[in-house]
Amino acid sequence: MPFNKDQMVKILNACDEFLGSNKKPGGQNATRLKALVLLMRYSGLRIGDALRLTDDPTPIYVGRKKSKTIVSPHIVDDRIFLYTQKTVTNVYVPMPPFFFEALRQ
């Protein structure tokens, strides 16, 4: 079940608090956390797909004979492109500008 507006505000505020309190090495993880939360909230990606997000659309060939192609979820302009194995379709998900701002930080 998706989070309601108040719950999302609390989650994003917690990310900001974590970022503010994390001044030591590895603090970039706090920034990544907020980007991950926004990505999953606005894209609907599963966590495994969200963690594989890249800006490189190069396909990966796998399998014994390299016959299976996997294209990692990647960014194209202001959208996220992914290939869903379940429905065997290509999907473009538009993302709000503030997601890309969080991603650049």
Percent of the chain's residues with pLDDT above 90: 9
What is the pLDDT, as a whole number, of residue 6?
Answer: 95
Domain boundaries, the chain: 5-104
pTM given for the model: 0.71
Q: Which of 47, 19, 52 is nearest to 33 (CA)?
A: 19
